[in-house]
Every structure is written in structure tokens, then in C-alpha cells.
Homo-oligomer: A and B are copies of this chain.
Amino acid sequence: MTDAPLPSTETADPPPCFQAHVFVCCNRRPDGHRRGSCAAKGSEELRDYMKARAKELGLVGVRINSAGCLDRCEFGPTMVIYPEGVWYSPKSRADVDRILQAHLVEGGRARELMLSERDVLPPKV
């Protein structure tokens, strides 16, 4: 017998702190910047709405955070939900409601609002 911890205890990651961790890009660039920015497209108001609605829905284990530039500005407002790594581009409160219900309540996807690998950035000039 030994009192050494089992290897699985030593090497496993801790359980997730949040079941779903949402990051909403709230980067703001000056008006007229060629890439635009999520905040200039209304992301801060959508973040506030999402936080308030998630609370009203009583979602447990879900955290909604602001983030700096997520570098997909052209498709903004953008958000990403981890650990899935699924990206969305909500344009309105109704879109946020759809993401909350389809993804965070039902565990599915709001596919019509998702970004994909085809949403690539334009080449740098």
C-alpha cells in the first residue's frame, strides 16, 4: 500500500468552473476604421441584455463576460461560447434570445446565427 495519490488525480484537470462560459466582444474602434468593431455594432447593449436575461431565466453554471477584440470584427457583433468553442453573430435582442434558448437552455445550437470556418478575415493590405 502507498499513500501516493493515484496518477489520475495528479493529471486530471479540475472540473469546469462554469458549464458554459460566454465571451462577448466589446472592443470599440474609432468610427470609420476599416475593420469596424463589435462595440460600434451594438455589442455592449447585447451583452447587457444577455446577462439580464440569463439571470431572469435562472441559468446555473453559465457566465457571460465581456472580452477584448476577438479578431472576427468583420462578422460582429461576435461572441464565443466555451468549452464548445462555438461562435455566434447576434444582431438583435431576438438573436440573443435564440442563442440563450437553443444553446444555453436546450444544449443545442442556433445554427443560423453561427459563424463557421468560411467566415474568414480579408487579407491584410
Q: Which residue of B lies closest to A18 (CB)?
A: B85
Contact segment of A33-41, A52-60, A94-102, A114-122? A114-122
Is residue A107 within 8 Å, beta carbon to beta carbon, of the partner chain?
Answer: no
Q: Bound state CA distance, A113 and B18, in angstroms?
A: 19
Q: Which residue of B lies closest to A116 (CB)?
A: B14
Q: Which of under 10, 10 to 19, 20 to 34, or 35 or more describes the interface residues of A?
A: 20 to 34
Is residue A84 within 8 Å, beta carbon to beta carbon, of the partner chain?
Answer: yes
- State the majority secondary structure of interface residues on A: loop
Q: How many copies does the complex hold?
A: 2
Q: Are A67 and B16 in contact (CB under 8 A)?
A: no
Q: Which residue of B lies closest to A115 (CB)?
A: B14
Q: Are A114 and B14 in contact (CB under 8 A)?
A: yes
Q: Are A85 and B117 in contact (CB under 8 A)?
A: no
Contact A66 B63, CB 8 Å, known A13-B109, A16-B85? no
Q: Bound state CA distance, A15 and B71, in angstroms?
A: 16
Q: Are B21 and A80 in contact (CB under 8 A)?
A: yes
Q: Bound state CA distance, A70 and B23, in angstroms?
A: 10
Chain B residues near A83 (CB-CB < 8 A): 82-85
